[in-house]
Amino acid sequence: MKAWPCFELYHTKESVINQVNAQRRLDIEKNRKRLIPIIQTIRVCGRQEIAVRGHRDGGRISLEEPEKNDGNFRSLLRYRANSGDDDFKDQLRNSGGRSMYTSAFIQNELINTFGHLIQSQIVRNVRKSIFYSVLADETTDISQIKQFSLCVRYVEDQSYKIREYFLTFVPVCDVTGEDLANTVLETLPILGLDLKKMRGQGYDGAATMRGQFRGVQASIKEKLPLALYTHCSSHGLNLCLSDASNIPSIRNCMGVIK
């Protein structure tokens, strides 16, 4: 009879494993809730095309206005906390340094995640269309790395509207026509696009891109005969306006028009 209370307690109480799992689920939900205002702020900055970080972007976010600009991201979080979001205000005040989720590393992770989600949605939309065209160009970034930009142009299914979106940057070492063509042909399948549906190529007038024999368009057309090349007329217009701006009167006219 004395052993019965111990037996009953043993069988009615949850096991240690279940208790640990339950606490883990609570921690996961709590951390997800903490990320919501941070994710929403990153999304607003991206959608409005405003910079995220400022001159000072480290340490705990103060609820008081700092002496030096600490960037749009931290300012928007401070505004949110001071505008009635008491849970988030408590998070900024009392969370440990490792559970703030406001560091530059976390910001970059969220931005990259948004980028992957947007890219995946664009690819899904392109795959619904019958055909698509590729627009590409090469440029050198501030760190002197050559970046090959890829954009896609297609007719949207059902609405029949022409859509044009940026897909990705691909770092390249060799910028010969054949190497850049291989970059296009290798990258598109990785993103999930069917090369057989490519019906157009659009590049600038550089010999590497438009070359009749060794250019990008020629190398791609050799493997995909239906992918016709069209010179980018907007690029020609841009070059004309750039050269014409050397004349003061035209430059002033362009400034007034803008």
Q: What is the DSSP string of 183-210?
A: HHHHHHHHHT--GGGEEEEEE-S-HHHH
**CATH classification of 111-252, choosing from 1.20.272, 3.40.109, 1.20.950, 3.30.420?**
3.30.420
pTM, entire model: 0.77
Q: Where are the domains of the chain?
A: 16-102, 111-252
Quick one: pLDDT at residue 182?
A: 92
Q: Check pLDDT > 80 for residue 104.
A: yes
Alpha-carbon distance of 229 to 209, in angstroms, equals: 10
The 10s digit of each residue's pLDDT in 36-63 is 999 999 999 999 999 888 777 777 888 8
